[in-house]
Chain A
Amino acid sequence: MSTVMEIESLGKKVFASADSWLFRDLNATISEPAIIGILGKSGQGKSTLLRILGRLLAPDHGTVRMEQKAMEQWPSALWRMKMSYVAQQATMLPGTVEDNLRTASMLHQRPFDQQLARALFEQLHLEQVEWTKPAQQLSGGEKQRVALVRTLLLRPAVLLLDEVTASLDTRSKLATEQLLVDLHKQTGTTILWVTHDLEEAKNNCERIWFMADHQLQADMPSHAFFQAPPTEQARDFLQTSLAQAHPDAKEVHHI
């Protein structure tokens, strides 16, 4: 079986002309479908990495391979259909909710899978949302979930998720997490999931990529990362994030 994706010596500069790197010499292989959580402090290039993988941004060095073919050899539209990016700030396209859901089928002249769309809506607690409603009138959380469904109807092999649950309430967040885990189990979709929520990463991701010091410092099973963070920065990151999420965590830790 061929590998899902190989990242080879990938680098992105802060400014195209200067010699300061956001990250460089990033190497990773996804040999089989997985849910991978991408963790790291803000400003380490996690979203930039996803945008490069989704071919919305060009790398300054290195390449990415899918099905053993470098990204430059793929027609960009086909690449994006297979490896689709969902942004943190969901953008609704002009028209109704249904127009948004039908986008992929319209672009690629495929039949619209209404049954799947309804099922996904139900799973994400969106059944109350009228399909005839102008998409711009949805709330932030609804927009985020509609954008996710819009992408899922494309059936990409790899999903690139940029903090997609950040604007959701707890119920919707848990439903979205469950949907993504089910999707991975049922269809073998690989999910690269940037999140600042450690619980989310711990509960749902099989592997963790940890970015720090302009590099991919860790690529390891999720349980191992949380049990024994491999570097000083990873330990600092986990402690700081935990302290921010639970201000009384220190006491709990001592207990």
Chain B
Amino acid sequence: MTYTSIWIAFAFVLIALLLSLWQRLGLEKEIAVGTIRSTLQLLAIGYVLHFVFHSDSILFILLLIAMMIAVASWNAASKAKKLRGIFGRIALSLALTELVTMGLLVTLGLVSPTPQYLIPMSGMIIGSSMIVCSLFLTHMNREVETSRGEIEALLCLGATTRQAVQIVLKRAVKASMIPTFDTMKTIGLVQLPGMMTGMIIAGASPIEAVRYQILIMLSFSSSAAVSAVLISMLSYRLWFTRDSMLHS
């Protein structure tokens, strides 16, 4: 694809801008900022990936994965700003999920340990786990609020924080994992995943593209479970004070 094609593609943004002006939606600034940011970010990551692929240095690969984890943790932590220390816990959950999933993929010989495979697949695993962490935090916040009476009733009976929060923790973990498995049920029927579509557009055989997509989907099932369980174990204490009381 040439840069001319990209310039022509800006016509789509023009349609959005004109509709916003015509309908007085006031979204012109949002559209402009979104367009400029996404274009610059993608161009930048394109050049960064080009550099990292050619340098073939493990240090740069690790740096890029660390950056992905940091950005994903910052994004997921924004769902629970009141929980002090949540950023570090999400980062740890994502790092361990990445280590387990990519570790298995590489050691089982399912993907070759080259930047071309490691970086895009890490991105997909971290991205999917980030959504699981965000969902967990959203559900957990809601569960703790609605089940405050239950949690306090258990605390009054001498339960530890872990015992008191066990029921709601289980519900939140379950709720955060369900979308991953729901997606697995409808994939290929309702939506064609981005990676597979990208490979087909780039000229790969659809059968080859589907094989990779199956690999990714299967690894998502483990990464969703690992990240949900890890973030729940690492973070549940944050809903309580040091004195084991529920934060008000």
Where the two chains meet, the residues of A that have a C-beta atom closer than 8 Å to any C-beta of B are 54-58, 72, 76-78, 80-81, 84-87, 89, 91, 93-94, 103-104, 107-108, 147, 150-151, 154
Contact = CB atoms under 8 A, between A and B. Distances in A.
B143 to A, nearest CB: 12
Given A57-B245, A91-B150, A93-B150, A78 B158 contact: yes
Interface stretch (B45-53, B65-73, B159-167): B159-167
A55 B153 contact: no
Contacts of B150: 91, 93-94
A55 B246 CA distance: 10
A107 B246 CA distance: 19
Contacts of A87: 149, 152-153, 156
A89 B167 CA distance: 20
A84 B157 contact: yes
B149 A150 contact: no
Contacts of A151: 156-157
A84 B244 contact: no
A104 B158 CA distance: 8
Interface in B130-172: 149-150, 152-160, 163, 167
A124 to B, nearest CB: 18
B158 A80 contact: yes
A71 to B, nearest CB: 8
B241 interface: yes
B208 to A, nearest CB: 49
Contacts, number: 68
B165 to A, nearest CB: 13
B88 to A, nearest CB: 25
A93 B154 contact: yes
Given A91-B149, A94-B167, A107-B163, A80 B155 contact: yes
B182 interface: no
A55 B243 contact: yes
B117 to A, nearest CB: 46
23 contacts: A54-B156, A55-B244, A56-B155, A56-B245, A58-B241, A58-B243, A72-B243, A76-B155, A76-B244, A77-B160, A80-B156, A81-B157, A84-B156, A84-B158, A85-B156, A86-B156, A87-B152, A94-B167, A104-B157, A107-B154, A107-B158, A107-B163, A150-B157
Nearest to A147: B153
B36 to A, nearest CB: 41
Contacts of A56: 152, 155-156, 245-246
A56 B149 CA distance: 11
A112 B150 CA distance: 21
Given A55-B244, A77-B244, A84-B156, 20 more contacts: A54-B156, A55-B155, A56-B155, A56-B246, A76-B155, A76-B245, A77-B155, A77-B160, A78-B158, A80-B156, A84-B158, A87-B153, A89-B149, A91-B150, A91-B153, A93-B154, A107-B157, A107-B159, A107-B163, A151-B157
B158 A154 contact: yes
A108 B154 CA distance: 12
Nearest to B158: A81
Task: Pick the 9 closest A-B CB pairs, nearest first.
Answer: A81-B158, A91-B149, A76-B244, A91-B153, A85-B156, A77-B158, A104-B157, A80-B158, A107-B159
A122 to B, nearest CB: 22
A76 to B, nearest CB: 4
A186 to B, nearest CB: 21
A77 B245 contact: no
A72 B158 CA distance: 16
A80 to B, nearest CB: 5
Nearest to B152: A56
Nearest to B151: A91
A72 B241 CA distance: 13
Interface in B217-248: 241, 243-246, 248
